[in-house]
Chains A and B, each alone.
Chain A
Amino acid sequence: MTRGYKLLTFQVATLAASAFLMTTIASITKAAPPAAAAVTIDNFTFKAPVLTVKPGTTVTWTNGDDIPHTVVSKTGVFKSKVLDTGDHFSYTFAKPGQFGYYCSLHPHMTGTIIVKA
């Protein structure tokens, strides 16, 4: 009897512990920030010019140049306002695909975001 009770206690404790663990894991997953990636603009260049990210990733471009730039999708998917020095622009890529973009002021500046699961 005593032994069986002890066993039961152990089982209950294990269950409670794993339940606690699962809740913790769930809450960690929930609290984790959504995927993010960064592209800096320096010396009239997008760095990196080709960036591969997972669906749901928010990409942020930041202009490090003394001259304004823009980030404009070649297919009209996204378009930033003019970014002066230090300004940034973000876009969240929900679906897989390949997204070419350029600077509408300096169109020789081009880049691509590849979204792949």
Chain B
Amino acid sequence: MRDDELDDSRRGFLKCMAWAGTGALFAFDGGIGSSIGLDAALAAPHRTAAAPFTFAQLSDSHIGFNKPPNADARATFAEAIAKVKALPQKPDFIIHTGDVSQLSRDDEFDDADQMLKGLGLPVFFVPGEHDMLDPDNGKAFLDRFGKGSKGAGWYSFDHRGVHFIAMVNVADLKPGGMGNFGPEQLKWLAADLAGRSSSTPIVVFAHMPLWTVYADWGWGTDDAGEALKLLARFGSVTVLNGHIHQITQKVEGRVAFHTARSTAFPQPAPGTAPSPGPLKVPTEQLRSMLGITDALFVRGHDRIALIDSTLA
């Protein structure tokens, strides 16, 4: 990391901003959300010369899913990839927040792999529970997408001064529980964060949400609180996930949480249906409920802008 990149964050209070919705925008400053215009935000002067960078999030591609409301999850994933290709600023890399496949079958993983390779960008994965269904509980996924990772597939990396942490909350799930990191991964996280400056912007990505969106459907992570405690001293933390196939977000202190849409099928809003099964929307409505997330970092502002767009 270059010194001038860090200058601004050293100097003052860290700002964190998350944008969401197609064109809609929320600005968060010290946990207090306020809505400002997208154009105004984009026109805001940069306080350092460092170029902003973007990365894109794809989630819940469920390659192999072929039931209502989507007879071909491969086709909609291909559309999502085309959408990434068409972004005005080419992302530095892609993150896929899990449920790459429907049933952890080799052909499903292979199709996803081949389609993503067409982007010509690095892709960082975390597994979803659908990627852990081979007889060896996730080995097929890790062999292909988790090289160099630890445990059930966790790892971290740095990019232009931002620390990215890939976490796994879908392994060894406990009866009656929700998502779960487990003590080994939390111990690793503590060691990974130790010695890092609190001004380092952090992005955590995992499959299941790190806050309890809806306990009755298991939409949360039982031991997320322990992970968030370790992250509490950092000035800017962004948590990205999938799993619930719809956008939800919240800000707590200096932590912004955001879930992405699926590229395969939508799921009902919490408690609005008898079960979290696929929301069987008419074909003409489907693509307005699938999409990608584009994340923009503006160095010097220490903020992340999340722009969700649909496949419609």
A contact set with B: CB distance below 8 Å:
43-45, 65-68, 70, 74, 81-82, 84-85, 100-102, 104-108, 110
Contact = CB atoms under 8 A, between A and B. Distances in A.
A107 B278 contact: no
A68 B178 contact: no
Cβ-closest 8 pairs across A and B: A43-B275, A102-B175, A108-B218, A44-B275, A107-B173, A82-B133, A105-B129, A43-B274
B176 A44 contact: no
B282 interface: no
Interface in B266-282: 274-278
A48 B173 CA distance: 22
A104 B128 CA distance: 12
Given A44-B276, A67-B277, A105-B129, A85 B67 contact: yes
B130 interface: yes
B73 interface: no
A108 B178 contact: yes
18 contacts: A43-B274, A43-B277, A44-B276, A66-B277, A67-B278, A68-B102, A68-B133, A70-B133, A82-B133, A85-B67, A100-B175, A102-B175, A104-B173, A105-B173, A107-B174, A107-B175, A108-B215, A108-B216
A91 B68 CA distance: 31
Given A102-B176, A104-B129, 6 more contacts: A45-B275, A66-B277, A66-B278, A84-B103, A102-B175, A107-B177
B117 to A, nearest CB: 26
Contacts of A81: 135
Contacts of B218: 106-108
Interface of B: 67-68, 102-104, 129-130, 132-133, 135, 173-178, 215-218, 274-278
A108 B278 contact: no
A100 B176 CA distance: 11
- For A43, A67, A68, A101, which residue has the most chain B Cβ atoms within 10 angstroms? A67
Nearest to B137: A104
B199 to A, nearest CB: 38
B277 A107 contact: no
A82 B68 CA distance: 20
- For B175, B274, B277, which residue has the most chain A Cβ atoms within 10 angstroms? B175
A79 to B, nearest CB: 10
A44 B277 contact: yes
Contacts of B178: 107-108
Contacts of B104: 82
A87 to B, nearest CB: 10
Contacts of B132: 105
Contacts of B278: 66-67
Nearest to A43: B275
A105 B104 CA distance: 12
A65 B218 CA distance: 17
A67 B177 CA distance: 19
